[in-house]
Amino acid sequence: MILWPMIPEQIINMRSDFTISKLIEAGRLAQQLGARIIGLGAYAAWIGKRGVLLAEAVNVPVTTGTNYTILVAIEAALSALNAVGINISEASVSVIGATGSIGEICTRILAKDVGQLILVARNEEKLHKLAGSLREAGSTNVTCTNSINNAVSKADLILIATSAPTALVSIDDIKPGSVVCDISLPHNILKDEAEKKTDILVIDGGVVKPPGNVDFHFCFGLEKGLAYACMAETMMLALEELYVSYSIGGNISILKVAKMAQLAKKHGFKLAEFTSFGKTVPKERIKAVAEARLAQPTHSPCPLTLSRPS
């Protein structure tokens, strides 16, 4: 692992020519060390057109891990719904960051299976375009809004994948017995708030158990032996000797996610046990959320007030 110790706010606020030059410096170091593929973790993925400029500069394939992250996040969310007794076909699902590279493909994969889909982002034009395209593809259950608190208050599952480096979702807006799958790094929900509300299950969206007893010899915020999906995608491509730039630029698709599912099966990469802010979720917590769910009055998913007609 090659580390560039900058926090997301610094990366966002620094001049892009500086951040790109530092990324290329790190890429050249990887090349000298013999790397045949380079994976960009978390916020490094934003620099230089999402890996495109680095791939051009170093002549080594680059990936951001986005396609495998999508697969793992969906697996985690569906598995968590099942664990607390929520039926996906009746569930109201809010995707915060629905128009982003992770959010959009998650939305497209889930659209036909969920009870109701609520798309959230700031740019209304992009939101309505996505909602329109989902409706054209046969989903009748799609609404959109840019009010996060409105969207989360009605949801059984909240999938968060935004590029905002701060908290966006308040746990107090979420109903008891619901599941939050936060893919964003840094997270968009506060750890202290999430820990206090024992009747809501908050899980990390992209945590993977690689095969064998892996020791990364470095603590990047997860328990020993676990990896982020963005790292795991790079490992799987290397094991497969598939030395191509896999998830760079806008190169994210359902087909590429499906290919990751095949590679994960072949090489033994699995969804980790549920973690929340890097720590394994205790079984009692899952039970408490399932009980809170049972205590909720049954209701039909109700339509949202749209921010503008669609």
Contacts made by residues 10-16, CB under 8 angstroms, sequence distance 24+: 11/43, 11/44, 11/46, 11/47, 12/165, 16/47, 16/48
> Closest approach of Cβ 277 to ligand NAP, in Å?
12
CA distances from 260 to 22, 247, 269 (A): 29, 11, 10
Q: Quick check: 26 binds ligand NAP (CB under 6 A)?
A: no
Contact pattern for ligand NAP over residues 226 through 245, marking x by CB under 6 A: --xxx---------------
CA proximity to 196, closest of 111, 285, 125 = 285
- Residue nearer to ligand NAP on the CB measure, 47 or 84: 47
With contacts defined by CB under 6 A, name the span among 62-70, 82-90, 135-143, 210-218 that binds ligand NAP: 62-70
Q: What are the backbone angles phi and psi of residue 275, rounded to the nearest 5°? A: -120, 155
Check residue 301 for interaction with ligand NAP (CB under 6 A).
no
Q: Which residues partner with 181 through β-bridges?
A: 159, 203
Shorter beta-carbon distance to ligand NAP: residue 161 or 281: 161
Residue 125 forms beta bridges with which residues?
none
For residue 7, the SS3 value is: coil
Nearest alpha-carbon partner for 106 in 62, 151, 165, 158: 158
* 186 SS3 class: coil
Q: How far apart are CA 253 and CA 132, in angstroms?
A: 18
Residue 210 binds ligand NAP (CB under 6 A): no
Nearer to ligand NAP by Cβ, of 178 and 251: the residue is 251
220 vs 286 by CB, closer to ligand NAP:
220
Cβ 236 to ligand NAP shortest distance, Å: 13
Q: Does 43 contact ligand NAP by CB under 6 A?
A: yes
Kindly determine how many residues on this chain lie close enough to bind ligand NAP according to the rule CB under 6 A: 31
Q: Which of residues 190-209 bind ligand NAP (CB under 6 A)?
A: 205-206
Cβ-based burial of 160 (10 A; exposed 0-12, middle 13-18, buried ≥19) = buried
Burial pattern 46-80, b for ≥16 Cβ within 10 A else e, equals: bbbebbebbbebbebbbbbbbbbbbbbbbbbbbeb
Binding residue (CB under 6 A) for ligand NAP from 11, 180, 183, 281: 183
Q: Is 168 in the site for ligand NAP (CB under 6 A)?
A: yes
Q: Which stretch binds ligand NAP (CB under 6 A): 64-72, 261-269, 272-280, 294-302?
A: 64-72
Q: What residues between 82 and 101 interact with ligand NAP by CB under 6 A?
A: 96-101
Per CB under 6 A, 162 contacts ligand NAP: yes
CB of 301 to ligand NAP, least distance (A): 22
User: Of these, 82, 87, 123, 296, which contacts ligand NAP (CB under 6 A)?
Assistant: 123
CB of 73 to ligand NAP, least distance (A): 7
Would you count residue 224 as binding ligand NAP (CB under 6 A)? Answer: no
All residues at 6 or more sequence positions from 160 whose CB lies less than 8 Å from its CB, including other chains? 96, 97, 168, 169, 180, 181, 182, 183, 184, 187, 188, 189, 205
Residues that bind ligand NAP (CB under 6 A): 42-43, 45, 65-66, 69, 96-103, 121-123, 126, 161-164, 168, 183-185, 205-206, 228-230
